[in-house]
Amino acid sequence: MTEHEQFAEDLALYALNALQGDDRAVLEKHLATCSACRLELEQLRGDGALLALSTVGPKPPLRARQRLLDAVAKEVAAAPTLRQAEGRLSRAENAREMGHPSVIVRRSWWGGLGWAATAAVIVLAASLWKENSALKRDIATWRSVASQEHLELENVQKVARAITDPEVERFTVVAMKTPPQPQGKAFYLRNRSSLVFVANNMPSLPPQKAYELWLIPMQGVPIAAGVFKPDAHGSATVVNPPLPAGIEAKGFAITVENEAGVEHSTQPVMMIGTGE
């Protein structure tokens, strides 16, 4: 039995997150060094995906869509919350700073009052110490809140950059004839080589044929940016195809190719669009 065969059954369980304990740890150690087993793991997950996709059920309730879009909008609006938290932190810190002078002022007149006054001041000092501790706890809380909100803000900003960054170039490609009007929208972020392409009203294709998306650089030949086939309604999606880093796009185009796609097209351009 080879080493790979030894792990074969455990890999299937691992793909389903059903492998626990020592077996899991041993397999993870092996996966770190074995590309063949990593590839088999990806395929086993794909086999599981087929099982998942075989499920049928009702469509999600309509409110779920609005709930998602509301949540996204709320995340984007989270930026001011951080500023508010920082403001609260600043106020709390000011309060702490104000606490010290009051101790000094009260200490300034205790000397003339004897033991009774001393006892009173000790009680007062204890009270102030307690108050100061509470303020410190508040400050720690605000710091924690601010830190957490800062992390959330960073996440939101990361996502927002992918679509809203001033450097994002948007491209809409349309067909020469109507109706129905095939249309595709490309959201391209050059500095992250990130591309989301969504197409609608695409005519169906003969078997063995597919649409191929092309990134047209400012210089040089078009770069293949994914192959896709539309569904029964003419819709299709390409998300983050492999692209070379940092290519400045003049536009995007679509050709019809064999379904495996080609590296360099000789076919006529069916749709083309430049940045908006």
Partner 1 sequence: MKSGDQSALAELYDRYSSVVYAVALRVLGDTGAAEDVLQEVFLQLWRNPGTFDSARGSLGAWLAVITRNRAIDALRRRKPETDIEDVIVSVSPDLAANADRSRAAEKVRGVLGTMPALQRSALEMAYFEGMSHSEIASKTGEPLGTIKTRIRSGLIALRKAFEK
Nearer to partner 1, 222 or 226 (CB): 226
Nearer to partner 1, 200 or 274 (CB): 200
Nearer to partner 1, 55 or 219 (CB): 55
Nearer to partner 1, 73 or 104 (CB): 73
Nearer to partner 1, 50 or 116 (CB): 50
C-beta separation of 226 from 186 below 8 A? no
Minimum gap (Å) between residue 172 Cβ and partner 1: 11
Minimum gap (Å) between residue 176 Cβ and partner 1: 23
Residue 207: other Cβ atoms inside 10 A:
5
Q: Kindly write down the DSSP assignment for every residue of 58-99, as one continuous string.
A: PPPPHHHHHHHHHHHHHHHTTHHHHHHHHHHHHHHHHHHHHH
Nearer to partner 1, 76 or 122 (CB): 76
Q: For residue 201, what are the contacts with CB-CB under 8 A and spacing of at least 6?
A: 180, 181, 182, 183, 234
What does the alpha-carbon distance between residue 264 and residue 253 come to, in Å, rounded to a whole number? Answer: 13
C-beta separation of 214 from 265 below 8 A? yes
Minimum gap (Å) between residue 19 Cβ and partner 1: 7
Minimum gap (Å) between residue 59 Cβ and partner 1: 5
Minimum gap (Å) between residue 146 Cβ and partner 1: 20
Minimum gap (Å) between residue 226 Cβ and partner 1: 6
SS3 128: helix
Q: List helix spans (H) across 108-201.
A: 114-164
* Cα 35 to the center of its chain, rounded Å: 27
Minimum gap (Å) between residue 269 Cβ and partner 1: 21
What does the alpha-carbon distance between residue 155 and residue 190 come to, in Å, rounded to a whole number? Answer: 19
Among positive and negative, which fits the CA dihedral 55, 61, 64, 65?
Answer: positive
C-beta separation of 225 from 195 below 8 A? yes
What does the alpha-carbon distance between residue 64 and residue 89 come to, in Å, rounded to a whole number? Answer: 36
What does the alpha-carbon distance between residue 37 and residue 191 come to, in Å, rounded to a whole number? Answer: 33
Nearer to partner 1, 11 or 146 (CB): 11
Minimum gap (Å) between residue 206 Cβ and partner 1: 14
Nearer to partner 1, 210 or 216 (CB): 210
